[in-house]
Amino acid sequence: MASDPSVRSAATSPRFARGGKDTFFSYKNDEMHAEGVPLVTIAAQVGTPFYCYSAGALRAAWQEFADGIKGMRANVCYAMKANSNLAVVRLFGELGAGSDIVSVGELQRALAAGIPAGRIVYSGVGKKPSELMAALQAGVGQINVESTAELETLNAVAGQLGVRADITIRVNPDVDAGTHEKITTGRKENKFGIDIDLARDAFALAGRLPHLRVRGVAMHLGSQIDSLEPYRGAIGRVRELIAQLRTDGHSIERFDIGGGLGIVYSDERPPSVAEFLHMVDKETSGLGCELTFEPGRRLVGEAGVLVGEVILVKPGVPKTFVIVDAAMNDLIRPTLYEAWHEIQPVRQRPHAATIRCDIVGPICESGDFLAQDRDLPPLAAGDLIVVRSAGAYGAVMASTYNSRPLAPEVMVDGTRFAVVRPRPTIEEMLSAERFPPWMESAKS
């Protein structure tokens, strides 16, 4: 997730010169469609801004993993933090995915979407005793423990329930994934996992705790990783650790490799899923572990878009501002991570001259932008724009800042579409709040 060092027009970006997944969001008669549905049709019925997910693109992304793990002793648990919409989670569950969760809220979502508890992996650096109890009561298949303090807490909670908890211990291999500093998780200075140099002591402690059953080792290097080398280096380090742990008497049956494989936002060239899985298969050959993969962004990122409407165009001396009704509260990645998202008009003008502009929202913040210094065809009030590769970390990170309702989410499947999370009304937002009793008394 790098900063945006260059400007390129939507018409010539290499991101959209390829086939494949791009066909799920493509121009037909110069009008952008989601599969077989014009985005203008959805906008007319749902209003803007809205998120739109392609069921076909989700299935295609899943199939890459399903094909890649054939012949491997492996399973795939979708990392729900990327997009926790119930319809998205259920779609993956029906295809055979488990869920990687990081909160009790995600646990409840996974169960509500029909994911069997035994296919749920509970990750996360800070789990409260009440959250661990909920996970054990639900019967989750695996808890990834990230500290010795959590080992002792989980042991106590499992003891209260009279059960043994199946765990892996997440180690921090101290490998730099070369990604954005805010989404790297595998370096010593990151908060995640147990330092690999301290891991044998942690496993020894876990082996002494009566209500824990140590099943394996977990790792996670970060997000939006565009090279195989960090994975290769980390797997090598963990493989050495597994050999040491077995010498220490531990039965290590599982290796949770995590997720983090990147997608295309602009002109990135991340490894294919097939290349990634082939490398993992080779590097873990003979290890004798069941493997777990936890892709999130790679499954949903390119399968979703954000659609907004131009409110007005504001010419300026240094640049032109195109003010749209989608804002940083709808998609915070550009301002939080300096992230690039390709932006295109929903109605294409193939031969129109471009203008240099910033695409900004109406929020009262200078950081409220979706793109800066972009060359786009001239836009006018009422035009629709589409923000590409917005299926991951879009709606899940949205807020109601400036009392703006959350954008609805829509799923398209072929020529049909449905709202899978409606836009709340202002009245519904207000109804969730309460005056304290003394204000009620003063009013009366």
Query: What is d(CA 126, CA 192) in angstroms, rounded to the nearest whole number?
Result: 9
Alpha-carbon span 373 to 360, nearest angstrom: 11
Are 148 and 280 in the same domain? yes
Chosen domain end from 260, 282, 297: 297
Specify whether 133 is located in the same domain as 219: yes
In single-letter form, the type of residue at position 72 comes to M
Which pLDDT does position 350 carry in this prediction?
Answer: 84
Which two tokens mark 43?
A: 């906008």
Domain identity same for 305 and 274: no
| Distance, CA of 211 to CA of 414 (rounded, Å) | 49
397 and 357 within one domain: yes
Q: Nearest CA to 238 among 224, 253, 255, 251?
A: 255
> Do 157 and 23 share a domain, yes or no?
no
What pLDDT is attached to residue 352? 87
Residue whose token pair is 């995600």 = 106
Statement to judge: residues 136 and 284 lie in one domain: yes
pLDDT of amino acid 317: 77
Whether residue 98 sits in one domain with residue 227? yes
Q: What pLDDT was estimated at residue 228?
A: 93
Provide the pLDDT for residue 187. Answer: 42
Averaged pLDDT in 10-residue chunks for the chain of 444 residues: 33 38 88 98 98 98 97 97 98 98 98 98 95 98 96 98 97 68 48 84 96 96 89 94 96 95 90 96 96 97 98 90 98 94 94 92 95 95 98 98 98 98 97 92 60
- Note whether 62 and 185 are same-domain residues: yes
Tell me the H-state helices in 113-264.
Answer: 129-138, 148-161, 199-208, 229-247
Q: Domain for residue 175, yes or no?
A: yes
Q: Does residue 146 form part of some domain?
A: yes
Confidence (pLDDT) at 192: 65
Residue span of the structural domain in which 256 resides: 55-297
Give the Å distances, CA to CA, from 228 to 18, 68, 178, 296, 429. Answer: 22, 15, 11, 17, 45
Residue 3 domain flag: no
Residue of 325, 329, 332 whose CA lies nearest to 309: 325
Q: What is the pLDDT of residue 18?
A: 36
Enzyme catalytic residues: 364
**Is the domain of 195 the same as that of 47?**
no
423 and 341: one domain? yes
Q: Could you tell me which of 12, 18, 26 has the C-alpha nearest to residue 374?
A: 12
Length of the chain as a residue count: 444
Residue 232 shares a structural domain with residue 320: no
Choose one of 247, 280, 297: the last residue of a domain.
Answer: 297
Q: How many domains does the chain have?
A: 2
- What is the model's pLDDT at position 37? 98
Alpha-helical segments (H) within 284-383: 297-300, 333-337
- Helix (H/G/I), strand (E/B), else coil: 390: coil
- The pLDDT assigned to 268 comes to 84
Residue 258 belongs to some domain of the structure: yes
The owner of tokens 């749209």 is 324
416 domain residue, yes or no: yes
Residue 306 placed within a domain: yes
Sole residue written with tokens 């002591």? 201
3-state class (DSSP) for residue 61: helix
Q: What is the DSSP string of 408-432?
A: PEEEEETTEEEEEEPPPPHHHHHHT
Where residue 227 sits, what CATH number does that domain have? 3.20.20.10
Query: Domain check: are 293 and 308 in the same one?
Result: no
Amino acid (1-letter code) at residue 364: C
Classify residue 148: in a domain, yes or no. yes
Is residue 368 within 8 Å of 335, Cβ to Cβ? yes
190: which DSSP letter?
S
According to DSSP, residue 271 is labeled P
Q: What is the CATH number of the domain that holds 336?
A: 2.40.37.10
Q: Which amino acid is at 203?
A: F
| Run of H or E including 274 | helix 273-283
Which of 297, 313, 330 is where one domain is finished? 297
Angle at which helix 199-208 crosses helix 148-161, to 10 degrees, equals 20
In a domain, 167, yes or no: yes
Quick one: DSSP state of residue 213? E
Q: Which amino acid type is present at position 402?
A: N
Q: How many CA atoms lie within 13 A of 309 on its CB side?
A: 14
DSSP result, 112-143: HTT--GGGEEE--S---HHHHHHHHHHT-SEE
SS3 call for 197: helix
